[in-house]
Structure formats: C-alpha cells, structure tokens
C-alpha cells in the first residue's frame, strides 16, 4: 500500500506536461494555436481518419513543417 508521504510527493509535482507543449509555452500564440489545432483534430470524428491525416500533411507542407 502506498504511504501518504509517497502520495503527497507524487502529487506535489503536478500533472506531466509533454515536452513539446513546454517548449511552446514561452510563445503564447504558438501555444494556444497548437491547443486549438489539437482540439479540432480530436473533435473531427465525422471525417475519415485517412482524410484527416492527408489534411494534416497538406497543412504541414504549406507552413513548411518537416514533421
């Protein structure tokens, strides 16, 4: 069983934030734009998955993203 001290130590750290989000945080427009993009990608359930990936690749190519 986990002791309260270990539980408190883990919870003190807070939620884990992915490294790309931490890197984007200093530039607020990029950070909030990325959050908006992730939200709309997650909510796009009526669009087929292959069409979503094609649109993401096309948008990345338009802005010059190498990923």
Asked whether the predicted pLDDT for residue 1 surpasses 60, the reply is: no
Average the pLDDT over each of 10-14, 17-21, 24-28, 47-51 and give the range with the smallest value: 10-14
Q: In degrees to the nearest 10, what's the CA dihedral of 50, 55, 58, 63? A: -140
- State the average pLDDT over residues 13-17: 67
Phi, psi of 51 (to 5 degrees): -70, -35
Average the pLDDT over each of 9-13, 16-20, 50-54 and give the range with the smallest value: 9-13
Angle at 23 between CA 50 and CA 29, to 5 degrees: 75
Q: For the segment 22-62, what is each residue's pLDDT rounded down to a tens digit?
A: 888 888 888 888 888 888 877 777 788 888 889 888 888 88
pLDDT attached to residue 39: 84
């Amino acid at each position: 069983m986990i002791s309260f001290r270990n539980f408190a130590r883990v919870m003190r750290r807070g939620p884990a934030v992915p490294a790309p989000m931490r890197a984007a945080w200093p530039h607020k427009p990029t950070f909030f734009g990325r959050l908006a993009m992730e939200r709309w990608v997650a909510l796009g359930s009526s669009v087929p998955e292959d069409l979503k990936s094609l649109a993401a690749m096309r948008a990345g190519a338009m802005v010059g993203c190498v990923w």
